[in-house]
Structure 1
Amino acid sequence: MKPRELFTLAAGAYLAMAWLGKALYFGPIEIGPAIYAVVFLILIFVGEKLGGNLRGEVFLPAFLLLIPLGPEYVLGGLISFGVVFFALRRNLLGRAVLPATALAVAITLLACLKWGIPLLKPELRYTIASVPFLVAGDIIMGAVAVYPDFRLLVVGEIIGIIGASRTVGLGVAAAYLLRLAYEDKLTLEEAKRHKKTVLVAVALLLAVFLARHYVTLKEYPVWKLGFLGSLLHRPASSYTVYERLFQLGMPFGKAELLFNPGPTGYVGKLFGKDIGYTYTLFGQPAYDFGIFGLAEAVVLGLALGRASKNPFTGTFAFTVAILALDIGIEGQFLVAISLMAYLAGVKRNEQESYN
């Protein structure tokens, strides 16, 4: 299985789960948003096929999207870009895996010591205490994108369990599978050859989702859905939010989400809530640009196609895109994928590497 095929499978599975859950828990599926979502995915695949032919410099203007988000996003983006550019240029990514993993573990341990364990204290998930676990998970995703070592997967899933974070668990698993796909190891034959590894990996990912379900039951004692029902409820809930954003954004959009530093919170307030609402991959384009939001699918596809030319940048970009299927596109997500498209073409400087 190739990386683009894995993304296609993930997108199809997500949309099917969202539609099924929507029909079961929220009512009939609306035709307009459903057609928009399918067309959006088709245009991503069209753009992905064409993106490999573009020059990387085409994607550098994506930095401008960080300006409306605030100076901290601009500075963070520049630093992150500079670090990855230097590492690619000097062929240092491989050497960074071990210290990066140690940093992720240290961040997790320090967060547990300072605030506690979110799995045991569910209220932490809605405070700043949840951020270190997400950061640690992001670091492991990056490490896996460089080197798909099964031990890194285990570390990442354990962080996901401790933080009761489906985002971390799914992101690390997606990065691992995508990186294996780049090495032509995501095959049925390889799965049969490493049955125990596959079983452990599935068990760990399942444990992450069970941990999140446990936290949900602790947070909401009146929650009636079982584990499987909860799995369908999350994408269905996000999809229902998307349908509402579709209605609000058509035909020409409101231009509020992509340039908002807190888009999920903004959407929550649209619904009269003080919590963040996820809105699927299609919600932001539909709300911000209406029918013209379909052009964003082409841009996203072009960036994914260009990023996929390099195993590291392709893995990272497709991982972000898979996570965005449910969370929704945020400004920093689109910038990250676009910059990966540029970085895919960075060549190792042989002269510098021997100095």
Structure 2
Amino acid sequence: MRSDRIFALFLGVYLLLALLGKIMFPGYLGTLNPVALFYALLFSLLIFLGYLFSDKLPKERLYLYLVVSTLMGASTGILGIVLSLSILLGGIFLMRNGGTDIRHVYYAGFVLVILLPLIAIVKGVIPILEPHMRYTPMKNLYFASAIFATLLLSYKPNIYLFLIAEAFAVISTFRTNALIVFLAYIFRAGREEAKRVLLLGVPLILLVFIVRFYATKGTYAIWKLGFIQTLVYRAGFSYMVYERLFSLGMPLGRFNILLNKYPRFFVASLFGKSTSYTYTLFGQPAYDFGIFGLMEGFLVGVALRDAERVQTFKSLALVFLVLAIENGFDALNFGIIMGSAFFSLGSREGFLWKEIR
């Protein structure tokens, strides 16, 4: 299935939930801003236009992807740098070896997926038992494990790796961890394999969402919303954050999110909070670039089309683009999308290495 159609499905579901949240909870989330909605829809349209017109653009756009992905990697913290280097070195190894003889690299990554969360567990950071632990710096070990699992599953689906990574996602109580692992497997697996994983994965994803719900109730004693209401409210809340960023960023932007090491904490600070806020796919371009942020949407669409030329990079780009729908763009996910486009286009056009299948 084409990447733009998969993305459109997830984007449509999110927008419906977000708008429903705005309607159901106007006292908390405010009334709908029609101008911000128009910007969001136009940004989405430009993603699809970028996807459609990608083949008509000069092949030298490959070097733009390289510059942007390198800049994104350099601007992140140690976790982002390690992950960026892993993608870079893994991509080069994959290209030069034509996708063969990387079994040992895969196994080494498998060990990391298991080892990183075990370190957190040994240190006593077990959010499923103590929900407040999900806000400590050690939570990044669970996130790093999930991302390494995503990288490996995007290259080669492995049911055991999938189940182990999802188990750690349940322990972490982070829905993001569970979602990216699940999506990587589904996007990369063949049709029959995907059906099997859907039977296993959907209950696991639901379990993570339920665990997160009870973690939220355990952390915030005043939380009164039910499970379904919480999902709708969460989508509407992120969209409300976007509307605030839109109002602050127009017309020319205040560039301070994309290269920020802690973008979600920065966004929360704009609301006078010290926690972490997600801000949707549209929040970062609206705040950073104002009306010119629409061009970022076009670039993302072009990169999505280029990334899908190689299955591994198609999976990676899609996973992190879907993740950004609610979470918003940051240096990590934006860099991975651009890096995926770079390696995929470079392979197909023979700019830097031989073509792989």
Deviation at 1:51, TM superposition (A): 2.7
In structure 1, the residue matched to 2:137 is: 128
Matched, 1:138 2:140: no
In structure 2, the residue matched to 1:3 is: 3
In structure 1, the residue matched to 2:96 is: 89
Contact 1:167 1:323 in 2 (8 A): yes
Alignment of structure 1 residues 206-285 onto 2, 5 Å: 206-285=206-285
CA distance in 1, matches of 2:162, 2:149: 8
Matched, 1:57 2:63: yes
Which runs of no fewer than 5 residues in structure 2 stay unpaired?
none
User: Bigger shift: 293-302 or 120-129?
Assistant: 120-129
Cα separation, partners in 2 of 1:202 and 1:61, compared to 1, 3 Å: same
For each residue in 1:34-92, what CA deviation from the matched residue of structure 2 results, as whole angstroms up to 9, or x when unmatched?
11111111111111223355533341121234455579866763564133212332235
CA distance in 2, matches of 1:287, 1:198: 37
Alignment of structure 1 residues 69-218 onto 2, 5 Å: 69=76, 77-78=84-85, 80-90=87-97, 91-92=99-100, 95=103, 96-180=105-189, 183=190, 191=195, 194=196, 197-218=197-218
Contact 2:238 2:278 in 1 (8 A): yes
Contact 1:94 1:147 in 2 (8 A): no
CA distance in 2, matches of 1:18, 1:32: 16
CA distance in 2, matches of 1:93, 1:239: 45
Identity %: 34
Secondary structure of the corresponding residue to residue 117 of structure 1: coil
Cα separation, partners in 2 of 1:202 and 1:41, compared to 1, 3 Å: same
Give the letter for the 1:77 counterpart: S
Which runs of no fewer than 5 residues in structure 1 stay unpaired?
351-355
For each residue in 1:317-351, what CA deviation from the matched residue of structure 2 results, as whole angstroms up to 9, or x when unmatched?
1101111111111123222211111111337978x
Deviation at 1:32, TM superposition (A): 0.9
Contact 2:242 2:280 in 1 (8 A): yes
Give the letter for the 1:28 counterpart: T
CA distance in 1, matches of 2:289, 2:191: 38
In structure 2, the residue matched to 1:30 is: 33
Secondary structure of the corresponding residue to residue 138 of structure 2: helix
Alignment of structure 1 residues 316-355 onto 2, 5 Å: 316-344=316-344, 345-346=346-347
Cα separation, partners in 2 of 1:92 and 1:275, compared to 1, 3 Å: farther
CA distance in 1, matches of 2:47, 2:102: 31
Contact 1:59 1:338 in 2 (8 A): yes
TM-score computed with the length of structure 2 as normaliser: 0.88
Cα separation, partners in 2 of 1:125 and 1:341, compared to 1, 3 Å: same
Secondary structure of the corresponding residue to residue 143 of structure 1: helix
For each residue in 1:199-241, what CA deviation from the matched residue of structure 2 results, as whole angstroms up to 9, or x when unmatched?
3221111001011111101101211011111111211111100
Q: Over aligned residues, Cα RMSD in angstroms?
A: 2.3
For each residue in 1:264-314, what CA deviation from the matched residue of structure 2 results, as whole angstroms up to 9, or x when unmatched?
111111100111111001001001111110000011111111111010011
Secondary structure of the corresponding residue to residue 335 of structure 2: helix
How many pairs does the alignment contain?
A: 341
Secondary structure of the corresponding residue to residue 125 of structure 2: coil
Secondary structure of the corresponding residue to residue 128 of structure 1: coil
